[in-house]
Amino acid sequence: MQCEILLPVPTSNSSDVIVVGAGMVGAACAYYAARAGLSVTVVDRGAVAGGTTGAGEGNLLVSDKEPGPELELALLSARLWQELTASLPPQIEYEAKGGLVVASDAAGMEALRDFATGQHKAGVMAEEIPCDRLGDLEPHLAPTLAGGFHYPQDAQVQPALAAAHLLRASGARIRLGEEVTHLLTQADGDLTGVRTATGTLHAPQVVNAAGAWGGELARRAGLDLPVLPRRGFVLVTEPLPRMVRHKVYAADYVADVASGSAALQTSAVVEGTAAGPVLIGASRERVGFDRTLSAEVLRRLAAQATTLFPVLAGVRAIRTYAGFRPYLPDHLPAIGRDPRMPGLLHACGHEGAGIGLAPATGLLIAQLLTGQQPAVDVGPFSPGRFTSVS
Amino acid sequence: MARTPGELVGARPGTPFEITVDGRTVTAMPGQSIAAALWGAGILAWRTTRNTGRPRGAFCGIGQCYDCLATVNGEPNRRACLLPARPGDAITTQEGHGHAGLGV
């Protein structure tokens, strides 16, 4: 056996921290934890980016967030994404394309103006674009719109590739196709690791980055975390030349995101990709983990997209995919230690913003894992906020 | 004499008709796909790829691989292996995505 181990290395099933979930958030937790000096094992019952990460559009948005803790997280993430882009390969398709939010009438424009004014105080750049200048930014936009706001800080990545490359860069041990069935605790309640279908992995700290399935993982630890799946469809066109320059969306998207209703909501979100196809979203409905294709949702997405970009009526939609956003009732992620089981940290529930918010989430989790002061106040993201504390 | 699929099954096809490929006249049989008619005329490529401009024609022949895309009567991205030829069809070599006019 050729073996020149100079440093003591952990045995293959023991590490400082186990991250459950090989999506974007899990990859970011693994990356920042490893950078903080921890040995990391990432375990996922499926493939890298096999859940919500692989079913999104890769949006890194500040434009849709009102001032508050989520926007603070998004602004930190926007900076971190710029750093990551410098060290990750170009295949992650990071593009600082900017966002363009458009309104169909004067009332919608006034609402956008109010929203942007509040965001501006929180550090978001936004420029009002009168209707006669919309065509300069997006030549194919319908000429009847009232105007819009341009958000230069919005960006995009190819989410599955970004997660995969970040995970590779982390150097973490990766165990795929291995489902966590139990969290293991000592008699005194201290966490000691996880049991999977094929064995036992040891670590004093476990990060729940299971996304829409984060509530199920918490249940396997005997804990309640009210993560619910919020389904969305994306309609994909045939490959096209660059004909949509920004992430373009209608003003009512922000209200849809903030809604707590389980009923179907759709609003037009249109963006090009480096590979050519235009992606058309966005729908939201809470129907459990039901993947059944909904022709009604696709019809609405297509109709709303062609209202914004009439030219899309003449191109083909070639496929569609659905995913489940990890929804928490107050639309904020759960980031931090579970007060009921301190070795367990949650990093899930980012709803439709997980790709954008992943780096800041990973950084905060790494700081909590190593006992450092978190870069932003994690109080609003406390996983304990859903349980009545006696 | 070479046996053809038509002879093997004793087919009695209808009257051949003409289509054009980049202006060149090609004979097609009723029920024949555009790809089959082009192959019959010795034409193997009728599209160039988006990124490197390489030639492409029919590959799987059953509508799955999308390699055989062609511009038919001005409409790009038609699968030549599935589309039956019709009298007078005008096929043009498709360059890339075939939507160059939409670029901004």
Where along chain B do its domains lie? 15-96
What are the tens digits of pLDDT across the range A239-275?
999 999 999 999 888 877 778 888 899 999 999 998 8
Distance between A276 CA and the closest CA of chain B, angstroms: 9
State how far the Cα of A206 lies from the Cα of A204, in Å rounded to an integer.
Answer: 7
Planar angle of CA A100, A105, A109, nearest 5 degrees = 50
> Are A243 and B97 inside 8 Å of each other by CB?
no
Distance between A141 CA and the closest CA of chain B, angstroms: 11
> Are B102 and A140 inside 8 Å of each other by CB?
yes
Q: State the complex-level ipTM.
A: 0.76
pLDDT at residue A262 in the model: 87
pLDDT, mean over chain B: 94
Distance between A140 CA and the closest CA of chain B, angstroms: 8
What are the tens digits of pLDDT across the range B23-64?
999 999 999 999 999 999 999 999 999 989 999 999 999 999
> Are B102 and A311 inside 8 Å of each other by CB?
yes
State how far the Cα of A255 lies from the Cα of A284, in Å rounded to an integer.
Answer: 11
> Are A239 and B97 inside 8 Å of each other by CB?
yes
Q: What's this model's pTM, rounded to 2 decimal places?
A: 0.89
Local confidence band at A5 (pLDDT 50, 70, 90 cut-offs): low
Chain B hits for A138, Cβ within 8 Å: 104
Average pLDDT (A70-80) is 97
pLDDT at residue A294 in the model: 95
Whether the pLDDT of residue B14 is over 80: the answer is yes
Strand B94-95, strand B47-48: pairing = parallel
Whether the pLDDT of residue A370 is over 60: the answer is yes
Distance between B99 CA and the closest CA of chain A, angstroms: 6
Residue of B nearest to A314 (CA): B75
The answer to whether residues A230 and B86 touch, using CB atoms and an 8 Å cutoff, is no
CATH architecture designation of domain B15-96: Roll (3.10)
Average pLDDT (A75-93) is 96
Whether the pLDDT of residue A1 is over 60: the answer is no
Whether the pLDDT of residue A223 is over 60: the answer is yes
Which of A140, A239, A316 has its CB closest to that of B104?
A: A140
Nearest residue to A26 via CA among A154, A157, A173: A173
Residue of B nearest to A274 (CA): B51
Distances (CA, A) of A182 to A196, A197, A218, A277: 7, 9, 10, 41
The verdict on B49 touching A (C-beta cutoff 8 Å) is no
Local confidence band at A12 (pLDDT 50, 70, 90 cut-offs): confident
The verdict on B102 touching A (C-beta cutoff 8 Å) is yes
pLDDT at residue A188 in the model: 87
What are the tens digits of pLDDT across the range A333-361?
999 999 999 899 999 999 999 999 999 99
Chain B hits for A140, Cβ within 8 Å: 102, 104
- Report the percent of chain A where pLDDT is more than 90: 90
Distances (CA, A) of A137 to A132, A205, A279, B92: 10, 48, 18, 33
The verdict on B75 touching A (C-beta cutoff 8 Å) is no
What are the φ and ψ backbone dihedral angles of A125, each rounded to 5 degrees? -85, 130
pLDDT, mean over chain A: 94
Local confidence band at A390 (pLDDT 50, 70, 90 cut-offs): very low
Whether the pLDDT of residue A40 is over 70: the answer is yes
State how far the Cα of A348 lies from the Cα of A386, in Å rounded to an integer.
Answer: 14
The verdict on A139 touching B (C-beta cutoff 8 Å) is yes
> Are B102 and A240 inside 8 Å of each other by CB?
yes
> Are A316 and B104 inside 8 Å of each other by CB?
no
Average pLDDT (A355-369) is 98
The verdict on B93 touching A (C-beta cutoff 8 Å) is no
The verdict on A131 touching B (C-beta cutoff 8 Å) is no
Q: DSSP character for A121?
A: H
